[in-house]
Amino acid sequence: MRTIWNLIFNFIRSKDSVWCAKNITPEHILPQTPTKLYWRNQFRQFSDVEIKNLSSSLGNMLPLSQSINSSLQNDSFDEKKARGYANGSHCEVEISKMDNWDARHIYDRGIKLLHFMEERWKFKFESIEQMDELLHIGFANDGREIPEAITEDTTPDLTNEEDDERTKTLIAIIMKWADGKESTGAIHVDKDKCDVTYCRFTTDTLTSILPDASEAKSGWNTKNHYFCEVVNKQRTRVKTGNKGNIITLQVALSGKHIPDDLKAICERIDKHFPSKPHHDNWYWRIPFSTERAVIPFDMKEDGIFDVLDTQYEQFQTFEKQLVDIIGRE
């Protein structure tokens, strides 16, 4: 992995001969530890793991002198532009002309750099899916809901051990709820694809609409190109008084290596349940998502089960609507 990133870094430097000097280090435009309000607000819809992926993705990397890089650290984007980028290399000036820096900018710049790599070394990536896989941030385009903006008054404390422990406890309760549903045959949990943030499952009804592919090549490395996901968010606690997590139940579609027949079905789904923003070459889509539910630290297991049951009922309504629509077409 280190060798791969050395090659990528050398590639970025090669765009501008001024960077063929010593003491050049990779600047993460979105910092690796984004503690300032600007960054936490700008990327508030993403989990900690997703933010780490965005920070280390190709489109977020910029070669800078070590002295300038060290001085910028966790500064906001406007501060970095004014004190570091505006009078720098071609790459820096190009970044300094942008009004803001978000996940879409990171993704677009990563794709642009990969296309430049193709032109420079006279080769061609197999597909946009392969490029997405290299960037590892296809979720940047999934059209998820963006929570209310964070302000100084509502900024939560940094994640601590108590928050981490509560998140682990909550996902254990969510998994227990899912196991109960699975015991009735209502859902099928894929525990290999579950983690502290996501509990993922399928249903017979959705699988009848969007059946498995012949090979396991989806964004989850599975044959199925959809999952129902209970999302357990730790970071998004704007309205909780810093006293709980937020959970959502959503349906996610994966466009990675999707066969044409399954992609056609996804397009039919998107026609009636569109994801925003909409992209023709999509990696993820979210055709359904419940409203976010706050889970306070003191909520008991029965109360959490009630919240999950309510969200599951909303999902069942979506599922029935989808069956009716597909059946009529």
In tens, the pLDDT along 217-269 reads: 898 999 999 999 999 986 544 444 445 788 999 999 998 889 999 999 999 99
pLDDT value of residue 219: 87
Single residue among 138, 172, 197 that ends a domain in this structure:
138
DSSP 1: -
Domain endpoint, select from 116, 138, 160: 138
Lowest mean pLDDT among 45-54, 126-135, 233-242, 275-284: 233-242
Quote the domain boundaries for residue 126: 2-138
Same domain? For 309 and 172 the reply is yes
Which range, 43-47, 163-167, 180-184, has the best average confidence (pLDDT)?
180-184
What is residue 226's three-state secondary structure?
Answer: strand
Residue 65: what pLDDT?
67
Is the domain of 177 the same as that of 321? yes
For residues 41 and 158, membership in a common domain is answered with no
Cα–Cα distances in angstroms (integers) from residue 159 to residues 167, 235, 274, in the given order: 11, 8, 34
Residue 276 banded pLDDT, cuts 50, 70, 90:
low
* Spatial distance between the Cα atoms of 160 and 92, rounded to a whole number of angstroms: 35
pLDDT attached to residue 16: 45
Predicted confidence (pLDDT) at residue 75 exceeds the cutoff of 80: yes
Question: Is a pLDDT exceeding 50 seen at residue 188?
Answer: yes
- Kindly state whether residues 128 and 159 are assigned to the same domain: no
- Same domain (yes/no): 94, 180: no
159-163, 227-231, 277-281 — which one is most confidently predicted on average?
227-231
Nearest to 171 by CA among 308, 43, 312: 308
Q: Averaged over 21-47, what is the pLDDT?
A: 82
Query: Does the structure show a pLDDT above 90 at 69?
Result: no
**Of 8-22, 46-60, 154-168, which gets the smallest average pLDDT?**
8-22
% of the chain surpassing 70 pLDDT: 81
Mean pLDDT of 47-67: 85
Burial of 81 (0-12, 13-18, 19+ CB in 10 A): buried
Average pLDDT over residues 267-291: 82
Tokens matching residue 122 = 């006279």
Q: Which of 128-132, 287-291, 304-308 has the least mean pLDDT? A: 128-132
State the burial class of residue 137 (Cβ atoms within 10 Å of its Cβ: 0-12, 13-18, 19+): buried
Instruction: Report the SS3 class of residue 323.
Output: helix
- CA torsion sign for 74, 75, 76, 81 is negative
At residue 106, the pLDDT reads 95
Same domain, 213 and 302: yes
More reliable by pLDDT, 131 or 182: 182
Whether 163 and 224 share a structural domain: yes
What global pTM score does this model have? 0.63
Say how far residue 127 (Cα) sits from the centre of its chain: 20
Q: What integer is the mean pLDDT of 172-199?
A: 96
**Looking at 138, 164, 191, which one is the last position of a domain?**
138
pLDDT band at 26 (very low <50, low <70, confident <90, very high): confident
318 and 199 both lie in a single domain: yes
Give yes or no: residues 108 and 200 share one domain. no
CA 88 to the chain's CA centroid: 31
Residue 202: which of 220, 190, 194 has the closest Cα? Answer: 190
| Mean pLDDT score across all residues of the chain | 83
Domains in the chain, number: 2
Co-location of 182 and 285 in the same domain: yes
Same domain, residue pair 272 and 126: no
- Say whether pLDDT at 135 is over 70: yes
Q: What's the one-letter identity of residue 132?
A: D
In angstroms, rounded to a whole number, what is the distance separating the alpha carbons of residues 290 and 313? 10
Domain match, 184 and 305 both = yes
Asked if the model's pLDDT at residue 33 lies above 70, the reply is yes
